[in-house]
Amino acid sequence: MGNALGIKGIMGLGKESSYGSAVDVTDRLLMISEGINFDYTDALHDYLHGGAGLPGMERLFEPVSGSFDCYVPYTVKSNSDFISADLLIALAMGNSDWIAGQGSNEIKFVDDLNVFGTLAFNKWRTDHVWEVISAMIKSFTLTCSLDKPMVISAEIAAQDLLIGATTVNQGSELIALPTAVPDLIQLRHFVFRIGDQSGAMGAGDTTGISSFTINVNNNLTDHQQTTTDNASSHTEPEHPIQPVRNGFREVTLEIVVPRYGNDTFFDHVANDDNLQAEIYATQPTSSEEFDIIFPNLKIQGDPLAPIAGAEALSQTITFRALKRNADSDVAFGDAGTDDGEMWVEVDNDRTATIF
């Protein structure tokens, strides 16, 4: 019996249709690391019983939570399975539309986040898969900098975690997920454009950045426990009910400009300008695309350009993404728009909607 080796880890993701019901995974995620665990709550028998020792403890609640990191590739399709991160992004944002004329998927935010998936991964035995059921994405971060490919870090809240032979996904199925070596999305593939809302973005809005970080927080409810409920088909009171939105969605963008050679961003914050941005990645060989669009941004707090010593001054600017406003000029490839504060459009091996 071999020990668990990180090098033998495989992670897959599949979209579920019914909360609490696992499905076969369809997408191999390029897992870097994971930290998903049982988040058990136990009741201690800590009443006064005439002795010093604790006589017992009982399980109260069995939610599952944690996070994982993956690289983001240009999606590869193999038969009906994929190597991707766009399913994960679509589950986090809520909706995906296939645009046949563009050959692309437009991923958008939804008001009621009601999509979830099955995560399955090998740890130490291929016949003891860890299967996370009905994982919803509480938050995710996309980072891209000069020293590594784009990475997505996702924090999940799940209904259950099963380990062993009874899981829907078996180790052999994970091993059978596509094994092609995909192209990773890199900083050098991106063109970053940002400017005020005074017309379509152009070459004059192109800005050289050395990194960007996008944070999306869906602000879902924390794990909540109820007794069984007929209306919502909640039959397992030891597991949490489905999370729902518990506040406004928070979307921020942070960029680092490695040179301070103009006052553009300082002028924008002083003028309280509404801005818009396009972050477009194109694979140099295949021309596949991964585009991120912000229709309405404002600089949050202070742009920073401190004199830290003898080194060159750099700028760090954080933006808050807002609901699209009437002055926004940006659009999807098909000229369509959306009210959400961030849009993602992907053009890759997929030939249909993500889900």
Partner 1 sequence: MSNALGVKSKATFRIESDQGMVTGAYPTTEAEADLEEVVLDGYDLIPLASESIVEGRENEVGETLLGTPAISHHDNVAIMPGGGIELHGFYDGLDQLIACVMGYEHPGTDAAPIFPDYTKGTAEKTGTVNGTQGVDALTDTVAIPFVEGDIGKFAMLYGANAEAGQIRRISAFVNTTGVLVTPNWSVTPVDASTLYVVSQEFQHLFELSMQLQDELWTDEYSSYPTTGVGTSNDKIIRRGTLGFQKYATKPWVWRSCFINSITFNFSAKSGMTISIDAIPFNLERNSATNANATGWKFSESPLFTPLENERILFNHLSGNGFLRIDEFVNGNMTSADEYGISDFSITINNNLKVDDQDALTGAFRVQPARGGNREVTGSFTMPRYAADTFQDWAKNNTILQSHIKFAGSTIATIPRAFEIFISSFKLEAPQAPIAGAEVIKQTYNFRAIIPASAPSFIANDGGNPQNDNPTQYMITPRSELMIRTTNQFPFNCFRDSNKEY
CA distance 158 to 135: 4
Q: Which of 27/341 has CB closer to partner 1?
A: 341
340 near partner 1, rule: CB under 8 A: yes
Q: Which of 69/97 has CB closer to partner 1?
A: 97
Judge whether 132 and 99 are in contact, CB under 8 Å: no
CA distance 114 to 242: 9
CA distance 152 to 177: 20
- Token digits of residue 189: 């593939």
List 61, 99, 323, 355, residue binding partner 1 (CB under 8 A): 323
Q: Give the footprint of partner 1 on residues 15-74 (CB under 8 A).
A: none
CA distance 280 to 257: 17
Distance in Å, CB of 330 to partner 1, minimum: 15
Q: Are strands 27-38 and 81-83 parallel, antiparallel or unpaired?
A: parallel
Q: Which of 108/234 has CB closer to partner 1?
A: 108
339 near partner 1, rule: CB under 8 A: yes
Instruction: Report helix, strand or coil for 287.
Output: coil
Q: Which of 228/246 has CB closer to partner 1?
A: 246
Stretch that binds partner 1, among 5-13, 202-210, 244-252, 326-334 (CB under 8 A): 244-252
- Token digits of residue 115: 């999509």
CA distance 214 to 25: 26
Distance in Å, CB of 139 to partner 1, minimum: 13
Distance in Å, CB of 259 to partner 1, minimum: 4
Q: Which of 5/110 has CB closer to partner 1?
A: 110
Report the length, in residues, of the chain: 355
Distance in Å, CB of 217 to partner 1, minimum: 11
Q: Measured between alpha carbons, how far is residue 47 from residues 41, 57, 60, 303 in Å?
A: 18, 11, 17, 55
308 near partner 1, rule: CB under 8 A: yes
222 near partner 1, rule: CB under 8 A: no
Which residues partner with 21 through β-bridges? none
Q: Which of 176/308 has CB closer to partner 1?
A: 308
269 near partner 1, rule: CB under 8 A: yes
What are residue 189's phi and psi, to 5 degrees? Answer: -80, -15
208 near partner 1, rule: CB under 8 A: no
CA distance 231 to 105: 34
Query: Footprint of partner 1 on this chain (CB under 8 A)?
Result: 109, 111, 219, 245, 247-250, 259-263, 266, 269-270, 272, 298, 300-302, 304-313, 320-323, 325, 339-341
